[in-house]
Amino acid sequence: MKHSTHRILTTHAGSLARPADLLEMVRIKEAGQPYDHEAFAARVRTAVAEVVGKQIDAGVDVVSDGEQGKPGFANYVKDRLTGLIAREGVPPRVSSDQADFPDFQPPEGGTLNARRMVCIGPIGWKDRAAVQTEIDNFKAALQTVQPAEAFLPTVSPGTLAQNVINEYYKDEEAFLFAVADVMQEEYHAIVQAGFLLQIDSPDLAMGWHTQFPDKTLEEFRTIIALRVEALNHALAGIPPEQVRHHICWGNGERPHHRDVELKHIIDILLRARAGALYVEGANPRHGHEWKVFRDIQLPEGMVVIPGVIDTKTNIIEHPELVADRIVNYARVVGRENVIAGTDCGFGTSADRTRVAPSISWAKLQALTEGARLASAQLWG
């Protein structure tokens, strides 16, 4: 994993808006309706090429495939793994922060993630080819461009424990390690293909106010410590410097006043076998938490990727504000150890566009301009 040796590098959290025609194909596919498999595969391939080109045009240094072929950052696994089904009629969880304000009406979400995944049998592989197709599409898109680096995002065992209703394994620990045993194949395939691996673990931060609002802080810490242990099991054999670990408090516009504070979980997050810790830094509830890094010792060689662009609002950040946020982190952990990112993805669910696609690209341009201004301050 590259460090910011001469200037602040830029990246984002992985998912980006899908083209309208591809999105319609995804909707049809997810609804279980007949669709042209070859046409879908071809459109995903061209969409990946398009989204990589747009990232380069926006000045992003470390790019992804935009998760163009996935219906969502986590629920894509139901198409790849055995033992999982999507069940209708399961009420979604209501975050405890949202429940505190009955008159609050959150922005409408999409429908592709409305069905809950349920584990009804042993977790295993049913479509290994999907991982290779994803890799091949990304490699093809990168043939005509030269980003600083490239990464592919994938879901953590803990996030599946949060999103999947377990009706098969005896307890969460058994489920976690069964998932870890299977997902390690996807993790290794991404790294062996020459890409950085990004593990998405929003559960490690957002789980307290969504899944476990009745637990004490110490009980929640015990829960996420087990999830990090399962993740490390899945990452065995992968060099930490090839792994980015993304943590967030949920990509939704909500009060967020019940979010666990970074200072209360940072020691557990640093146990993960990852060379980069990726945290939110633009979310107004967490914009001050760069200060947490003053009181900890980062593992040798670790990169911090702070989100300096909010992915929950359509306000385009001023580049000078972006630069200020970057400089705050750089002056604490060292300029070479900071890569500037976005808080979360712009397309975590394919059909839920909290930020208009055109504005998301403008935000990425503000990111790169802010990184340029920060570099001028930090390198003179």
Q: How confident is the model at residue 350 (pLDDT cuts 50, 70, 90)?
A: confident
- Tell me: pLDDT of 160 over 80: yes
CATH architecture classification, 9-379: Alpha-Beta Barrel (3.20)
- pLDDT tens for 302-313 read 999 999 999 999
- pLDDT tens for 106-126 read 776 666 666 789 999 999 999
- pLDDT tens for 327-337 read 999 999 999 99
3-class SS string, the chain: CCCCCCCCEECCCCCCCCCHHHHHHHHHHHCCCCCCHHHHHHHHHHHHHHHHHHHHHHCCCEECCCCCCCCECCHHHHHCEEEEEEECCCCCCCCHHHHCCCCCCCCCCCCCCCCEEEEEEEEEECCCHHHHHHHHHHHHHHHHCCCCEEEEEEECHHHHHHHEEECCCCCHHHHHHHHHHHHHHHHHHHHHCCCEEEEECCHHHHHHHHCCCCCCHHHHHHHHHHHHHHHHHHCCCCCHHHEEEECCCCCCCCCCCCCCCHHHCHHHHCCCCCCEEEECCCCCCCCCHHHHHHCCCCCCCCEEEEEEECCCCCCCCCHHHHHHHHHHHHHHHCHHHEEEEECCCCCCECCCCCCCHHHHHHHHHHHHHHHHHHHHHHHC
The pTM (predicted TM-score) of the whole model is 0.96
- pLDDT tens for 59-88 read 999 999 999 999 999 999 999 999 999 888
Boundaries of every domain in the chain: 9-379
